[in-house]
């Protein structure tokens, strides 16, 4: 395949009017993806965006690529079929917290555990936006919405923890207020061979405005965002005065002066065992305390389509095996006469 021609953001934009509420965080994510495409060296005709339902699901209309606005909660399943049939394509899957984590949760975890070659972007705004403000699987306990007038009673999903529990080979988190960080994380996810999930904290300024401002607004980021850098001790704060250590069964935030830099946890995305990455994902109960962002895990694993092709080739190499005619006429078969 020849090298892809150079492109501009305009080459990736469509003539469709972008129809999200003014001020929605989705605009920032869309801009980051369109700008990223110009850096990836990929072709539009080899790129596909698949979505399910919800506000985020409009994404394929705004990308000048192939795409499919599919049905409720089924985007990971449809994308799995495409990735299996056309492993030469770049397949991106777009969904919100309601889309991916409610009825679509089964499809998501199985796509992740199978290590299908997909780049999945999870827009997490902790609310159902398209259907006008009901609580979602990531809404905090006590959340008062139209569907929970006395407050939600449920424990919310932590999408990063969920993905790590499903043994996803690439898991990351970013937020819609930092285009550079979004693009960096998304590029790493795209370049990863296998399932790659990126959770994006995304503001819904109509039904859940400011859900993440305690950690994402510019004035507090240094103190509230723990940027994970592979191979580096985990430190944060305006003066890098705070850090993370392993203590007991989990990870803890400490003052560096109290423990010394040598005691800090050195981040390693390539650890095969996801336990430490999981511990990092549990540092923050919600987006109101210091929260890790960046790549939690990036390990190599057998990609599902490759494994299936290898299995098929092995079966076909055996005498008489792998032939449809032989299969249909083997075992308990019979003839129907008209």
Q: Where along the chain do its domains lie?
A: 9-211+299-305
Per-residue pLDDT of the chain (338 residues), as tens digits, is 468 899 999 999 999 999 999 999 999 999 999 999 999 999 999 999 999 999 999 999 999 999 999 988 899 999 999 999 999 999 999 999 999 999 889 999 999 999 999 999 999 999 999 999 999 999 999 999 999 999 999 999 999 999 999 999 999 999 999 999 999 999 999 999 999 999 999 999 999 999 999 999 999 999 999 999 999 999 999 999 999 999 988 999 999 999 999 999 999 999 999 999 999 999 999 999 999 999 999 999 999 999 999 988 887 777 555 566 666 677 776 677 87
Q: Are 291 and 201 in contact, with CB atoms under 8 Å apart?
A: no
Q: How far is CA 269 from the centre of its chain?
A: 16
Secondary structure of 164-218 as H, E, C letters:
HHCCCCEEEEEECCCHHHHHHHHHHHHHCCCCEEEEEECCECCCECCCCHHHHCC
Judge contact between 120 and 198, C-beta under 8 A: yes
**pLDDT for position 336:** 79
| Residue 35 structure tokens | 């700008």
CATH architecture of 9-211+299-305: 3-Layer(aba) Sandwich (3.40)
Dmax (CA) for the chain in angstroms is 88
- Phi, then psi, of 44 in degrees rounded to 5: -60, -35
């Amino acid at each position: 395949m020849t090298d892809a021609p150079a492109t501009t953001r305009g080459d990736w934009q469509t003539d469709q009017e972008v129809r999200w509420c003014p001020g929605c965080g989705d605009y920032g994510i869309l801009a980051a993806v369109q700008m990223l495409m110009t850096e990836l060296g990929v072709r539009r005709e080899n790129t596909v965006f698949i979505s399910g339902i919800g506000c985020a699901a409009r994404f394929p209309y705004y990308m000048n690529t192939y795409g499919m606005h599919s049905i409720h909660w089924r985007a990971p399943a449809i994308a799995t079929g495409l990735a299996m049939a056309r492993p030469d394509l770049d397949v991106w899957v777009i969904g919100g917290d309601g889309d991916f984590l409610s009825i679509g949760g089964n499809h998501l975890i199985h796509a992740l555990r199978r290590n299908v070659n997909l780049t999945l972007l999870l827009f997490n705004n902790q609310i159902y936006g398209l259907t006008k403000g009901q609580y979602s699987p990531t809404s905090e306990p006590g959340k008062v919405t139209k569907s929970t007038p006395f407050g939600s009673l449920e424990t919310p999903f932590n999408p990063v923890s969920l993905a790590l529990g499903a043994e996803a080979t690439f898991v990351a988190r970013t937020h819609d207020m930092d285009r550079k960080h979004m693009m960096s994380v998304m590029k790493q996810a795209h370049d990863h061979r296998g399932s790659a999930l990126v959770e994006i904290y995304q503001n819904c300024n109509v039904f859940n405005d400011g859900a993440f401002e305690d950690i994402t607004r510019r004035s507090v980021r240094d103190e509230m965002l723990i940027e994970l850098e592979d191979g580096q001790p985990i430190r944060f704060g305006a003066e890098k005065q705070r850090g993370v250590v392993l203590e007991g069964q989990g990870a803890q935030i400490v003052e560096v002066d109290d423990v010394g830099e040598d005691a800090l946890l050195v981040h390693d995305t390539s650890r095969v065992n996801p336990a430490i990455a999981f511990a990092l994902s549990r540092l923050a109960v919600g987006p109101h305390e210091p929260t890790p962002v960046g790549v939690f895990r990036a390990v190599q694993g057998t990609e599902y389509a490759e494994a299936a092709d290898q299995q098929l080739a092995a079966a076909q190499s055996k005498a008489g095996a792998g032939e449809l005619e032989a299969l249909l006429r083997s075992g308990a078969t019979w003839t129907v006469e008209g």
